[in-house]
Structure 1
Amino acid sequence: MQYIVSVDIGTTTIRACLYGKSCNKLKVAEEKVDIEISGQDEWELRVEIAPEKLLEQFIRVVQSVLKDVSAEDSVAMALCCQRNSFVFWKKSTGKPLHKIVCWNDARARKSCEDWNGSVFIKMLNAGGSFLHFFTRMPRFMAAKNLKFLSAMVTHRALVTLETIPGHKALINDNDLGFGCLETWLINRISVSDNYLADASNISSTGLYDPYINGYNNVIIKILGFPTSILAPICDSISSKELCFIKESFFGRKIPISAILADQQSALYGSGGWDLHDVKISLGTGTFVDMNTGNKPHASMNGLYPLVGWRMNNTPVYIAEGNDHDTAVLLKWAGEIGLFENVQDTSDMAFAVKSTNGLLFVPAFGGLQTPINDGLACCSFMGLRPDTKKVHMVRAILESIVYRVYQIYQTMMDEVKPTKTSKIRICGGVAHNDFVCQSISDMLNCEIERVTDGGLVACRGVALLAGVQLGLWKEADLPNMISIESVFKPNADSRRVLVKTFPLWLQAVKRSTKFY
């Protein structure tokens, strides 16, 4: 029998799912990722993971789901990872040279601010504007709006590289490995020490140019990034296995058949294969992704043109908007005593007709698309003597809804889809009925919640691996997606949300440029 073990290395959880021949879920194992946070202020925030510990967790969760699989059965692996978390290592020993630097680490925030205020960026923006005016080419629009972000890999990697003793000698000796999680992990566990970077993962790093389907050598050279350490970009799946895992890890030589970044995998696992399909993920952060087909979208307001997946060197592109703070808001709210069980928050929000004038700005990590202000602060506004915990909980949940609405509306305004697309929602916070219903109300669209939404990224890359293995065809995929619930707009609750939205925008304005 053929099995697929799908591993999702997320920001807060690492999990392995075992799937059967029809992509039926057989077993799940997961562990919490140990995130190390340090730093004295917003400009020096360090968010890191111990790489050897993460590798041990990877081995344990895979071993757990495989322990009852017969040696005679075939097993392939599908891998999806959190994006933009990276590490440098010594190739000759495989030893990491520092802790994994996570995507929300802020060590390069000042470097990004300095570059964005530099004469060079202003000239690049002006040149892009000039060329776009005459050519109307999307690539020049991207140059017109280029800004470096701390969430990108480029500046965090350069800042980290300077702290590694002897890094120049390692580069000269071709002994310095560098990559995001899929590159590091595959180099560490594969039979041939494969050195590769998946297209969907590399596309969000700031090192990739979607308009040429390859590394952005212009930006790389301007920044002084060492090109010799960059891994070759590979397809998400190919006609044969991408690599094999050493037998010493799991007692068998397992092929890796598919690799995707986590949000792209969630889009695939939600059934977002058609042009202008939309997936909303509500997990650690909020991610809204739209399938844009064979064309990368150039945005004026912070949408990112990324590779969804790539086959035969041909990408399917997506436009993505995001917000860093979603599940973390509820974790914090629980820790300060606003509720005892996060599962109660939906009923708490439904129990009151409004927030009683209270507004919440969800900006622990700044505000992303389309506001794009890394210096915004989190805030409650409109507190009154009669404000209750239920009002505070509802205000927090409404802020998640409003951020989704802002991102979605930006997509509608910029991409201008020509047909009504399916909109599907997944992720841990998507279990909250109030949030899902309110998103449906604000978007004034039907929202479909995917079954097992917390596992949709695991399932997405497993579905892709099954295509590579010949277990099913792409034409079979629509019948393999299950919808748990459908939320339809409610006119009465929509009126309340729409009425509050302009006031919330005022609160956002007062919270921007705070630090």
Structure 2
Amino acid sequence: MSALLAIDQGTTSTRAIVFDRNGAKLASAQRELPQHFPQPGYVEHDADRIWTDTLACARDALRASGLGAQQIAAIGITNQRETTVIWDRASGRPIHHAIVWQDRRTSAFCQQHADRSDWINRKTGLILDPYFSATKIAWLLDHVPGARARAERGELAFGTIDSWLLWKLTGGARHATDATNASRTALFNVTTQDWDEELLAFFGVPRSLLPEVLDCAADFGRTEPTLFGAPIAIGGIAGDQQAATIGQACFAPGMIKSTYGTGCFMVLNTGATLTLSKNRLLSTIAYRLGGQPTYALEGSIFVAGAAVQWLRDAVHLIKAAGETENLAKSIDDTQGVYLVPAFTGLGAPYWDPQARGAIFGLTRDTGIAHIVRAALESVCYQTRDLLQAMAQDAVAPTELRVDGGMVVNDWLTQCLADVLQIPVVRPHTVETTALGAAFLAGLQAGMYASLDDIARLWQADRRFTPKMDAARADALYAGWRDAVMRVRST
């Protein structure tokens, strides 16, 4: 048989999944990724650890599937976006820990140059925020001794995690990325489909650092033969949210999906038209195939599953994420408790990097279940923030396709339908991020003739319809809006 290997390198874990051509999972392997917080607002990863975990997961998944390298048609890569690695081209060693997308160390720069945000938005569809790669690159060049001079001499390479993994998989033979990851750097002009010289000058980033930009399904090279026993073609790359959009088969304008992992990311397909948001959403590339970009509006929530991780690891209210569903169901409501998880600021539509998390409405009767349920409800309220902005910018969606690790929680998925007041559809395969990467690799390998072939493979698992009265949903959401205003920095 001919199968596909997907590498899904996320913020908190690294996974590899082997799929058959119908999108059925044959085997998988996963490793948790340690987080580094050198000081408040700083979030880093060990890029070397990301590589060794990726290699180990890929080997373990292949071993578990019983397939050899010769039976893998192609590899697809999907990744946490914006996270920034700079490495030495000769040694292949990073010059510093990777700076993670959640990192806020460049907030002061962004505030200082806030007047340039509209100019950046017109070129990139993004706003000026520490979230994106450009200011992270500049920080590394300015704070790692000798880095800027080495970059000017062409000795260093920049990449988002996909580029870093591609470099390592090919033994340094390929320094490339795809259009979706490039579009998240704030250096890529989404209209001209090229790195923008004016943006490079503004951020102080030498062009020699940057990777070649290819379509999402393209010839990205082949793995070193020693890694898997034989070379395997690498045929697909997309940032995690764009890969999930493909895995959810959101190929028609107006289709929308939301992925619930460490953060929450909602993507609305806008077709061949670049729609600039009037409500502080991002305009981005959903995918690029055959040189033709398909655009999207995106809303980014920084903390979704990370709130559950915080409940487990920081305040020890739970021992495992799976406990949250029963705790939430054990009470009728939160009794007015709201948790605003602005641990690394607020994302769309607020874009307030100085906001900080808080819990409101605590009383003597408040218990663990109330706080846990409030954390889950915060994900639903933040999703409604995004959905309302999408409706004002483009169209009001009639249903939402959801995926990611959090939506295996039936209580949470029903809460989403209740708060949003529209049906929420969970697919048969919730690992749609990895599946989308596999589909892209399959397109390049000729396993699928078109996106229509992929769309026919998508299957719904369960449809959740609103059970809550609309007036009650509105009242709960109003309480959320009040809580958010209390943590805003401006």
Deviation (angstroms), 1:36: 1.7
C-alpha contact 1:37 1:48 (8 A) present in aligned 2: yes
> Which letter maps to 1:357?
G
Q: Which residue of 2 aligns with 1:134?
A: none
Which of the residues 85, 93, 96 maps onto 1:95?
93
Distance 1:224 1:339 in 2: 45
Deviation (angstroms), 1:422: 4.5
Identity of aligned residues (%): 26
Q: Which residue of 2 aligns with 1:356?
A: 335
What are the Cα deviations for residues 241-292 of structure 1, in whole angstroms up to 9, with x where unaligned?
3211111211111110111111111111112111111111111001111111
Query: Is 1:347 aligned with 2:326?
Result: yes
Query: Is 1:50 aligned with 2:50?
Result: no
Deviation (angstroms), 1:314: 0.7
- Superposition TM-score, scaled by structure 2 size: 0.93
Distance 1:333 1:168 in 2: 40
Q: Which residue of 1 aligns with 2:475?
A: 499
Deviation (angstroms), 1:214: 2.1
C-alpha contact 1:425 1:450 (8 A) present in aligned 2: yes
Relative distance call for 1:262 and 1:338 in structure 2 (3 A) is: same
Deviates most, 337-346 or 244-253 = 337-346
Q: Which residue of 2 aligns with 1:294?
A: 272
Deviates most, 67-76 or 205-214 = 67-76
Q: Which residue of 2 aligns with 1:317?
A: 295
| Pairs aligned (count) | 486
**Structure of greater Rg:** 1
C-alpha contact 2:419 2:477 (8 A) present in aligned 1: no
> Which letter maps to 1:49?
H
Q: Helix, strand or coil for the counterpart of 1:77?
A: strand
Query: Is 1:226 aligned with 2:226?
Result: no
Distance 2:298 2:83 in 1: 18
Which of the residues 478, 484, 493 maps onto 2:461?
484
Distance 1:346 1:189 in 2: 39
Q: Which residue of 2 aligns with 1:133?
A: none
Q: Which residue of 1 aligns with 2:128?
A: 148
What are the Cα deviations for residues 48-79 of structure 1, in whole angstroms up to 9, with x where unaligned?
22222221111111111223324653442111
Relative distance call for 1:484 and 1:166 in structure 2 (3 A) is: same
Q: Which residue of 2 aligns with 1:463?
A: 439
Alignment of 1:37-186 (within 5 A): 37-39=37-39, 41=40, 45-67=41-63, 68-70=66-68, 73-116=71-114, 121=115, 125=118, 142=122, 147-186=127-166
Distance 1:145 1:467 in 2: 27
Query: Is 1:35 aligned with 2:27?
Result: no
Relative distance call for 1:192 and 1:367 in structure 2 (3 A) is: closer
Distance 2:52 2:342 in 1: 33
C-alpha contact 2:252 2:269 (8 A) present in aligned 1: yes
Deviation (angstroms), 1:340: 4.3
Distance 2:414 2:99 in 1: 36
Q: CA RMSD in A?
A: 2.2
C-alpha contact 2:124 2:186 (8 A) present in aligned 1: no
Q: Which residue of 2 aligns with 1:248?
A: 226
Q: Which residue of 1 aligns with 2:177?
A: 197
> Which letter maps to 2:27?
K
Deviation (angstroms), 1:350: 3.0
Q: Which residue of 2 aligns with 1:273?
A: 251
Which of the residues 433, 451, 455 maps onto 2:428?
451
Deviates most, 289-298 or 217-226 = 217-226
Deviates most, 106-115 or 145-154 = 145-154
C-alpha contact 1:423 1:448 (8 A) present in aligned 2: yes
Relative distance call for 1:393 and 1:95 in structure 2 (3 A) is: closer
Which of the residues 298, 308, 311 maps onto 1:333?
311
- In the alignment, structure 1 segments of 5+ residues that lack a partner are 129-138
C-alpha contact 1:278 1:421 (8 A) present in aligned 2: no
Distance 1:71 1:463 in 2: 18
> Which letter maps to 1:323?
I
C-alpha contact 1:276 1:421 (8 A) present in aligned 2: no
Deviation (angstroms), 1:327: 1.1
- In the alignment, structure 2 segments of 5+ residues that lack a partner are none
Relative distance call for 1:322 and 1:413 in structure 2 (3 A) is: same
Deviation (angstroms), 1:345: 2.2
Query: Is 1:187 aligned with 2:167?
Result: yes
> Which letter maps to 1:321?
G
Distance 1:145 1:449 in 2: 29
Query: Is 1:24 aligned with 2:1?
Result: no
What are the Cα deviations for residues 110-168 of structure 1, in whole angstroms up to 9, with x where unaligned?
2222222xxxx26x75xx6xxxxxxxxxx9x7379974111111111111111233334
- Superposition TM-score, scaled by structure 1 size: 0.89
Relative distance call for 1:409 and 1:168 in structure 2 (3 A) is: closer
